[in-house]
Structure 1
Amino acid sequence: LHWLGLPPEERPQLVLLYFSEPDGTAHRNGPDDPSVAATVTELDALLGRLLDGIEASPVAEHVHVLITSDHGMAPVPPDHVIYLDDYADLDGVRVIGNATQAFLYFDGAEERLWSTHDALSERLEHARVFLREETPPGWHYDRDHRIGDLVVAADPGWIVARREGRPWSGGGMHGWDPAVRDMHGIFLAAGPDLVPGVELPAFENIHVYPLVARLLDLESPPAIDGRIEAVDTVLATPARR
């Protein structure tokens, strides 16, 4: 807030603020735990102080405030773990996972890849198995060499793991398909160049960048993925189509 009172030549045009919560609490206890609601209440109070300070500042009528999150969260009970070792022989297979998905690398061992693919596809419940080139287009995995030869994607509310890993005692997780509603984040915005009361349909966070650029009177680079047209109904002067 002190920055807003600086002389124009020293005052920043863009200020970013990040809260690490309620992500940590929701991971530990699950998103429906009362501790998460308590954490959100604390954050709401902090945001209230920030907004009150902006309103009292000498540049209040020129300030835009955007509040967003990068993902949602869903609960995962202790018994909703799929241990891949129980369904296929993974000795010598490199497995890298982030709980909701596991990447399996076979380093050119084609026969081993297909036998593992068939074993997992036939036996797994609460998860899907994809060849890298057959993953859903929205994931943008098919042309990325860093992605595993096989991708095992757990259903929402389930995670995948190895037996040798750390035991799962329950909690919250994210990383499932972004189309799943529980994975959706939030987006709230207000300011002099924004139309109050507009409700946007769900959109990808990549479109926040060109919106911020527009509010700063900057041109977005043409090669970025985000498009102002996806969110321009919030603008008092929408982008030309």
Structure 2
Amino acid sequence: MALLSIRVTFTRKQDGCCPTHGKHYAKFTAAFPLITRTDFVYAMVYFESIDDLGHRYGPDSVHVKGMVKEVDRVIETMLRQIETRHLDDDVNVMVLSDHGMTDVSLSKVVNISDVINMDDIEVIINNYGSSVYIWPKHGKEQTVYASLENTSDYFKPFLRKDIPPQWHFQHNNRIPDILLVAQLGWYIDTVRSRHMLAGKKQQQEYHFLRQHAALTPEPCSHN
């Protein structure tokens, strides 16, 4: 796969689907020699533990705060090694986040299955409650959109052409015809996710659902 005309030349397979806690230093150790090579222009290391713990315990939990400190120490070690090897002027370090996150309680769930006719829907994908992707059947786009528009203060529908350009979420064949976005702190329920909610609440006095505050699917870190 090429990114900005640059093709990836080296990858390391993820050790299982879900996060591998305690392996941050090993990941950095494996990546560091790559950034010292003249034929490499870009190296990326993903520390997934913060994401996983956020989904499990909430973004403000002691678990997340502790893991942030651990990752911070790894970054500090990396910066020191760059400085020790006199690479300060040759290596640019960028620290990025893949998405935001907020707590969602079971008291803030809005169900859309009562306002849309499922017979008009070809495909519907609930992105863990923070957004819903809807592909209506041919000729039903405006009908489905109209049934969602001004229905609730807790979510907002967008036709694909009206999705805010700053989200960079329009020009791909995976983008739905209708995007439904929850207000921060709310969870959008559908027929499928309603059973998921009931099951989770039954398994463990389910204290909180976890919601992405951005439009990024994360299949490995959600249960």
Q: TM-score range by the shorter chain?
A: 0.5 to 0.7
Query: Which whole-Å deviations, capped at 9, do the CAs of 1:101-135 have from their partners, x for residues lacking one?
Result: 2122222133xx44433332243230112222232
Change (3 A) 1:57 1:11: farther
1:14-29 superposed matches below 5 A: 14-29=42-57
Q: Is contact 2:59-2:101 (8 Å) kept? A: yes
Answering whether residue 125 of structure 2 is matched by residue 96 of structure 1, we say yes
Q: Is contact 1:71-1:174 (8 Å) kept? A: yes
Partner Cα distance (2:33, 2:143) in 1 = 65
Show the counterpart of 1:79. 107
Change (3 A) 1:76 1:56: same
Bigger mean CA offset, 121-130 vs 35-44: 121-130
Query: Which whole-Å deviations, capped at 9, do the CAs of 1:8-47 have from their partners, x for residues lacking one?
Result: 8778554322211211111122111111101111111222
1:65-214 superposed matches below 5 A: 65-91=93-119, 93=121, 94-98=123-127, 99-110=129-140, 113-141=141-169, 144-165=172-193, 166-167=196-197, 169=206, 170-176=208-214
* Amino-acid identity (%): 25
Between structure 1 and structure 2, the one with the greater Rg is: 1
Q: Is contact 2:55-2:211 (8 Å) kept? A: yes
Q: Is contact 2:111-2:190 (8 Å) kept? A: yes
Q: TM-score, normalised by structure 2?
A: 0.63
Unaligned runs of 5+ in 2: 1-28, 201-205, 217-223
Q: TM-score, normalised by structure 1?
A: 0.59
Partner Cα distance (1:9, 1:176) in 2 = 35
Change (3 A) 1:11 1:108: closer
Instruction: Look up the equivalent residue of 1:173 and give its one-letter code.
Output: Q
SS of alignment partner, residue 103 of structure 1: strand
What do you get for the CA RMSD once the two structures are aligned?
A: 3.3
Change (3 A) 1:135 1:172: same
Instruction: Look up the equivalent residue of 2:126 and give its one-letter code.
Output: G
Q: Is contact 1:5-1:57 (8 Å) kept? A: no
Query: Which whole-Å deviations, capped at 9, do the CAs of 1:64-88 have from their partners, x for residues lacking one?
Result: 3322223222222233222211322
Unaligned runs of 5+ in 1: 179-241
SS of alignment partner, residue 100 of structure 2: coil
